[in-house]
């Protein structure tokens, strides 16, 4: 469990703990066992299984088939075939013919790609199958599916050849600047290792020309029970799950003369080297210093676990120091970090990296190396260590509080890592006890000693620049890049000064206030208060989480209230305010101040509304309300932090605009809305030239100097009476002077008729088709569901026809729906990536499927698949705080009856095939759409 926590904190360390209590003086030599929450076993044929009963979400089961076989095991004639084998798992097996498996799984409520999925990496292939447990037949068949994946794939020659086109489309999607640069980076990064030659997607030549025998050989060699695990987590009795594992997997056989499963070595770098890789379409300029790899330690004892905690503390503190550097008026980089991290299975190293800004690579190198050397020479402060300990412990405590509300998929992922990387699984209750015991034993000297060991002084290194060779900061020369690092390592550094911080967010909390009116909505479990300042509060106490409180508020107005001259000042007002901090605290100081707390608050102007949202643990609710109160007060002013925000934003926008996808996205918006000046395109550097500190700050204060017309919605683990004093004190104290509370229609309307445009950008032979259908339409919940049903049914047809039958695409589909603001309208958009030579075929096929829906109607079986998926998803959503908050916020903003959400299942059941056909005729008009196609430059 702590491994999952530490991954969230950004470090892929292997963490372990004891399954029995730790005493005041723990035995650091004790070997760490598996915890009691999971049953782990092994069949006679070597297959490992993990079984855990977990009722979150209820009536749901997460199945995984894990195979310790990935692209690293491919022979020279098998490049890309580990991944291709994964594709063939959905193309016919012992018990499921081609197309039958996906169709069946859709019929029980699964969505291909969202629920039903798989992935292939260097060292493993993982199949993901969630199932409804209220359908016993579905559970039994689910185990049958896993059995077929394990050793029952058909590899019909015609099916293999048909799938080539689909996998080649996936390969095509991955092409671009990043891929081209990685093709040059990986041979250096993995020099002397097979990893440099075994990217999972393979090569175009191999995918087009591999023999049928080659893929069958891969499957026979490596899909064997002694390299497999089955993970079963969910609403199921463990004994029943074990019986099904045994029934379906005991019969699997290992090959007679099995090939040894070995892991690729990565040689230790012996000399320093620089690499400069440029591409005109690169969306980021980046630099990296990768120091020598060494074997990642295997954590076996409590002492190993303690050392892993030391590593995490070190990484967190060094990361925060480097983050602080971005707060300078001329930051040395847009973002960066240093620390010990894993490169591939079994290997880790110390490395530093940064996304570069306008100043280029030199200040980034100097700043990173300087902070590394400072930490190595002088270590960290006691205040830094205590803050980091507090944050680490608090996050683990919250994980413990949610132990019975953790989703099964999270546990399943944990057991995958146990099987693949030997990450132990002691159970959250034990881990909390061990961390509480061990953290106090870690002294500042322990972390500083680790810093001296982990940060190389003058070791061999690979220094990399990847990005463009254009603009204000041309790419460096390799020799100069390496020299810059070597010189920076010799520069003298001084100790870091630690600034004392205030112990409270607010100098003087507001006076206590009161609730002046109260009403209840029993069917929805809502309590509504009116405060003395006129602010309205809606509370929905839940037991969905044990320690989570969510808050949101919306009010019409937003950016629409400001004219064309203020478009960017209003658009970035919230980000400008946040960049300078809150109250008496800069962003970095605020982060330190909030160490050990689980809390956040964000405010800003959306296009049509003013919005605020936040979350907190129960203990940190008052802190959340204090942050919110400060954000409704005077905006903090810091010219250096403002300039840092502007320069970083301009640099990030400049990089993004280099990609052909950005040019394509902007072309769609310009074409669709006839170059309307208020349509928000992707940010460009010139946008930020039009942002003024004074004006953006004034706009923010215009909208957040008053809470008038706002309804604050809180959902989560609280009782209304317990939090009433805090709500009354803080929300009741918010100012409420008059201000405009309606949006302004900016006159943004789509073009009419058939409009077509071709965009030529990018060097890769790849295209994307975009077709947008728009028009006016009255909104209702019923009509929105009918439109969404149309979208989902059409997506089923796109998968079945354009992907599976015609093999023209790998992925893509339609999205969109009805909207009420700023006028009643709809917008539905098709996005279909494909080969340039197939553009006309893709357009014809997509429009052909639309025409079939309009003329021949909808297959009832397809609509049934959509409905069962919606019912399943809705049942799960009703147990999630975020879902309730979103529905209540929407109902409040638009003045709807929130109890309508309880009608969802009835409204879904009422949709008929005729409704969907009528929606296709109404909304997908073939004489009114905008078609934009991306082609390569040549």
CATH for the stretch 46-249: 3.30.830.10
Average confidence (pLDDT) over 502-520: 92
The CATH number for 515-733, chosen from 3.40.720.10, 3.40.50.261, 3.30.830.10, 3.40.50.1240, is 3.30.830.10
Both tokens of 804, joined, read 């599976």
In the sheet with 754-760, reading across from the earlier edge strand, the strands are 754-760, 929-935, 767-776, 825-834, 813-819
**What is the secondary structure of 578-646 as a DSSP string?**
HHT-BTTB-HHHHHHHTTT--EEEEEEE-SSEEEEEEEE-GGGHHHHHHHHHHHTSPPP--HHHHHHHH
Domain extents in the chain: 46-249, 273-400+421-490, 515-733, 754-935
Average confidence (pLDDT) over 417-434: 91
Average confidence (pLDDT) over 146-169: 97
Cis-peptide into 243, omega within 30 deg = no
Mark 145-177 as b/e (b = at least 16 C-beta within 10 Å): bbbbbbbbbbbeeebbebbbbbbbbbbbbebbb
Nearest-CA neighbor of 350 among 315, 381, 309?
Answer: 315
Average confidence (pLDDT) over 558-580: 97
Pairing of strands 609-616, 549-556: antiparallel
Task: Report the SS3 class of residue 553.
Answer: strand
pLDDT for position 5: 34
Domain 754-935 sits in CATH 3.30.1220.10: no
Nearest-CA neighbor of 400 among 427, 428, 426, 425?
Answer: 428
Domain 273-400+421-490 sits in CATH 3.30.830.10: yes
379, pLDDT greater than 60:
yes
Distance between CA 173 and CA 185 in Å, rounded? Answer: 20
Distance between CA 255 and CA 250 in Å, rounded? Answer: 14
847, pLDDT greater than 50:
yes
Average confidence (pLDDT) over 723-740: 97
pLDDT for position 10: 36
Give residue 113's pLDDT band: very low, low, confident or very high (50, 70, 90): confident
Give residue 502's pLDDT band: very low, low, confident or very high (50, 70, 90): confident
pLDDT for position 408: 96
Whether residue 645 contacts residue 711, with contact meaning beta carbons closer than 8 Å, is answered with no
Which of these ranges, 291-300, 470-479, 528-537, has the smallest mean pLDDT?
470-479
Work out whether the CA dihedral 923, 927, 930, 932 comes out positive or negative: positive
Average confidence (pLDDT) over 210-227: 98
Distance between CA 49 and CA 866 in Å, rounded? Answer: 33
For residue 592, the tally of other CB atoms under 10 A from its CB is 20
Average confidence (pLDDT) over 570-596: 95
Give residue 471's pLDDT band: very low, low, confident or very high (50, 70, 90): low
Nearest-CA neighbor of 740 among 923, 870, 570, 538?
Answer: 570
262 burial via Cβ count (<10 Å: 0-12, 13-18, 19+): exposed
Q: Can you say how many angstroms the Cα of residue 701 is from the centroid of all Cα atoms in its chain?
A: 32
819, pLDDT greater than 90:
yes
Q: Can you say how many angstroms the Cα of residue 706 is from the centroid of all Cα atoms in its chain?
A: 34
With the CA atoms of 292, 298, 302 and 307 taken in that order, what torsion angle do they form, in degrees rounded to the nearest 10?
10
Read off the pLDDT of residues 383-392 as tens digits, 9 standing for 90 and up: 999 999 999 9
Average confidence (pLDDT) over 651-670: 93
Residue 563, φ and ψ in degrees, nearest 5? -75, 180
pLDDT for position 24: 52
With the CA atoms of 694, 700, 701 and 703 taken in that order, what torsion angle do they form, in degrees rounded to the nearest 10?
150
Average confidence (pLDDT) over 235-247: 97
Give residue 116's pLDDT band: very low, low, confident or very high (50, 70, 90): confident
Q: In the chain, what percentage of residues exceed pLDDT 70? A: 97
pLDDT for position 2: 36
DSSP state of 30: P
19, pLDDT greater than 90:
no
Question: In angstroms, how far is the first alpha carbon of the chain from the final one?
Answer: 51
Q: Beta partners for 556?
A: 609
pLDDT for position 14: 29
Distance between CA 274 and CA 279 in Å, rounded? Answer: 17
User: CA 417, 420, 426 angle in degrees (round to 5)?
Assistant: 45
Average confidence (pLDDT) over 337-361: 94
Cis-peptide into 57, omega within 30 deg = yes
pLDDT for position 703: 97
Residues counted in the chain? 938
Whether residue 311 contacts residue 226, with contact meaning beta carbons closer than 8 Å, is answered with no
Work out whether the CA dihedral 515, 519, 522, 527 comes out positive or negative: negative
Read off the pLDDT of residues 51-105 as tens digits, 9 standing for 90 and up: 999 999 999 999 999 999 999 999 999 999 999 999 999 999 999 998 899 999 9
Q: In the chain, what percentage of residues exceed pLDDT 90? A: 91
Name residue, tokens 């640069």: 181
pLDDT for position 112: 85
pLDDT for position 868: 96
pLDDT for position 829: 98
Name residue, tokens 């072309």: 667
Q: Give a three-class secondary structure readout of 819-840.
A: ECCCCCEEEEEEEEEECHHHHH
Whether residue 759 contacts residue 664, with contact meaning beta carbons closer than 8 Å, is answered with yes
pLDDT for position 3: 39
472, pLDDT greater than 70:
no
Give residue 655's pLDDT band: very low, low, confident or very high (50, 70, 90): confident
Arithmetic mean of pLDDT over the chain: 94
Pairing of strands 536-541, 711-716: parallel
825, pLDDT greater than 70:
yes
pLDDT for position 920: 98
């Amino acid at each position: 469990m702590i491994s999952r926590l530490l991954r969230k904190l950004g470090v892929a360390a292997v963490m372990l703990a004891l399954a029995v209590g730790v005493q005041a003086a723990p035995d650091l030599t004790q070997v760490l066992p598996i915890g009691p929450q999971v049953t782990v076993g092994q069949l006679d044929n070597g297959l490992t299984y993990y079984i855990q009963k977990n009722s979150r979400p209820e009536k749901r089961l997460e199945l995984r088939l894990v195979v310790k076989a990935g692209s690293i095991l491919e022979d020279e004639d098998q490049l890309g075939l580990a991944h291709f084998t994964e594709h063939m798992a959905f193309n016919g097996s012992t018990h499921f013919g081609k197309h039958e498996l996906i169709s069946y799984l859709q019929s029980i409520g699964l969505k291909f790609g969202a629920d039903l999925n798989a992935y292939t990496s260097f060292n493993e292939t993982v199949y993901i199958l969630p199932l409804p447990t209220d359908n016993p037949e579905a559970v039994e068949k689910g185990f049958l599916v896993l059995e077929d994946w394990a050793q029952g794939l058909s590899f019909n020659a015609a099916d293999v050849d048909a799938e080539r086109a689909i996998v080649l489309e996936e390969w095509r999607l991955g092409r671009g600047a990043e891929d081209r640069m990685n093709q040059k980076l990986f041979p250096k990064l993995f020099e002397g290792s097979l990893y440099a030659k075994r990217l999972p997607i393979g090569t175009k030549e191999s995918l087009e020309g591999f023999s049928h025998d080659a893929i069958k050989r891969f499957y026979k060699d490596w899909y064997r029970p002694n390299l497999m695990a089955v993970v079963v987590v969910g609403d199921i009795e463990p004994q029943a799950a074990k019986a099904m594992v045994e029934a379906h997997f005991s019969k699997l056989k290992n090959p007679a003369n099995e090939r040894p499963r070995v892991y690729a070595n990565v040689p230790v770098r012996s000399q320093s080297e620089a690499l400069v890789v440029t591409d005109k379409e690169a969306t980021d300029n980046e630099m990296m210093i990768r120091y020598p790899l060494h074997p990642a330690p295997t954590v076996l004892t409590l002492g190993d676990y303690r050392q892993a905690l030391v590593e995490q503390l070190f990484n967190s503190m060094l990361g925060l120091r480097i983050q602080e550097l971005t707060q300078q008026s001329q930051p040395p980089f847009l973002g960066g970090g240093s620390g010990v991290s894993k490169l591939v299975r079994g290997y880790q190293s110390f490395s530093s990296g940064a996304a570069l800004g306008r100043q280029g690579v030199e200040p980034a190198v100097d700043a990173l190396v300087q902070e590394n050397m400072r930490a190595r020479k002088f270590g960290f402060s006691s205040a830094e260590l205590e803050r980091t300990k507090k944050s680490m412990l608090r996050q683990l405590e919250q994980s413990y509080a949610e132990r019975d509300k953790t989703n099964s998929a999270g546990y399943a992922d944990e057991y995958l890592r146990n099987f693949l990387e030997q990450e132990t699984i002691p159970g959250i209750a034990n881990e909390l006890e061990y961390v509480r015991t061990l953290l106090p034993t870690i002294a500042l000297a322990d972390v500083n000693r680790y810093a001296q060991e982990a940060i190389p002084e003058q070791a061999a290194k690979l220094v990399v620049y990847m990005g463009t060779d254009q603009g204000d900061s041309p790419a460096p020369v390799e020799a100069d890049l390496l020299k810059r690092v070597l010189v920076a390592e010799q520069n003298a550094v001084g100790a870091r000064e630690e600034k004392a911080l205030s112990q409270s967010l607010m100098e003087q909390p507001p006076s206590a206030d009161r609730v002046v009116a109260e009403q209840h909505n029993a069917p929805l479990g809502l309590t509504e208060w009116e405060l003395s300042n006129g602010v309205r509060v809606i509370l929905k106490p839940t037991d969905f989480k044990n320690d989570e409180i969510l808050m949101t508020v919306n009010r019409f107005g937003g950016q629409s209230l400001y004219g064309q001259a203020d478009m960017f000042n209003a658009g970035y007002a919230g980000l400008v305010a946040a960049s300078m901090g809150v109250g008496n605290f800069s962003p970095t100081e605020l982060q330190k101040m909030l160490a050990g707390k689980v809390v956040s608050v964000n405010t800003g102007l959306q296009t049509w509304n003013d919005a605020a949202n936040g979350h907190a643990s129960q203990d940190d609710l008052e802190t959340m309300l204090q942050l919110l109160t400060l954000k409704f007060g005077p905006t903090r002013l810091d010219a250096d932090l403002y300039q840092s925000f502007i320069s970083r934003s301009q640099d990030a926008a400049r990089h993004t605009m280099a990609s052909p996808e950005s040019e394509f996205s902007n072309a769609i918006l310009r074409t669709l809305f006839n170059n309307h000046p208020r349509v928000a395109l992707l940010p460009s550097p010139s946008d930020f030239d039009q942002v003024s500190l004074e004006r953006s700050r004034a706009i923010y204060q215009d909208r957040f100097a008053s809470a008038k017309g706002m309804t604050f919605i809180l959902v989560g683990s609280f009782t209304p009476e317990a939090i009433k004093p805090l709500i009354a004190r803080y929300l009741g104290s918010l100012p409420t002077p008059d201000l405009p509370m309606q949006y302004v229609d900016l006159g943004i309307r789509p073009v009419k008729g058939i409009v077509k445009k071709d965009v030529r950008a990018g060097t890769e032979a790849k295209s994307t088709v975009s077709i947008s259908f728009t028009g006016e339409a009255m909104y209702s919940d019923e009509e929105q569901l009918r439109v969404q049903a149309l979208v989902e049914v059409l997506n089923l047809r796109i998968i079945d026809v354009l992907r599976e039958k015609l093999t023209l695409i790998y992925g893509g589909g339609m999205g969109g729906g009805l909207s009420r603001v700023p006028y009643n309208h709809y917008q539905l958009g098709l996005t279909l990536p494909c080969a340039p030579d197939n553009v006309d075929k893709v357009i014809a096929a997509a429009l052909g499927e639309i025409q079939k829906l309009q003329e021949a109607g909808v297959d009832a079986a397809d609509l049934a698949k959509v409905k069962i998926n919606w019912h399943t998803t809705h049942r799960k959503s009703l147990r999630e705080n975020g879902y309730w908050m979103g529905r209540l916020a929407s109902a409040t903003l638009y003045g709807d009856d929130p109890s309508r959400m309880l009608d969802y299942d009835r409204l879904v059941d009422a949709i008929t095939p005729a409704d969907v056909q009528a929606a296709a005729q109404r909304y997908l008009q073939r004489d009114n759409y905008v078609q934009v196609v991306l082609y390569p430059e040549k």
